[in-house]
Amino acid sequence: MANRAISLIETHERVCSERANEAATWRSGATHTLNDIKSSLNEKLENVGSDISGIEAAIGSVYSRLWLGVIGLVTLLLAVIGYLIAHKGL
């Protein structure tokens, strides 16, 4: 009976050891995969950051041009109003 108990304990220890090795292997693989995902996301975020700065520059130039257009339109409308007041009266 003692030999059977010792045998069962040794079997249990061997199974636990195998499970611990499998868990360590899985954790190592999972950590490696997560590190790859993290580095990939960091690279994509860096690329998006540079893309955004390029977009901001493009939007800034369009915005400046829109302001010039708005100023031109306001000037044109004021000129038309001035013309109408001068030639047609108020």
Q: 3-state SS of the chain? A: CHHHHHHHHHHHHHHHHHHHHHHHHHHHHHHHHHHHHHHHHHHHHHHHHHHHHHHHHHHHHHHHHHHHHHHHHHHHHHHHHHHHHHHHCC
Note the pLDDT of residue 89. 80
Q: What is the mean pLDDT of residues 51-77?
A: 85
Name the pTM for this structure.
0.45
pLDDT in tens, 3-31: 999 999 999 999 999 999 999 999 999 99
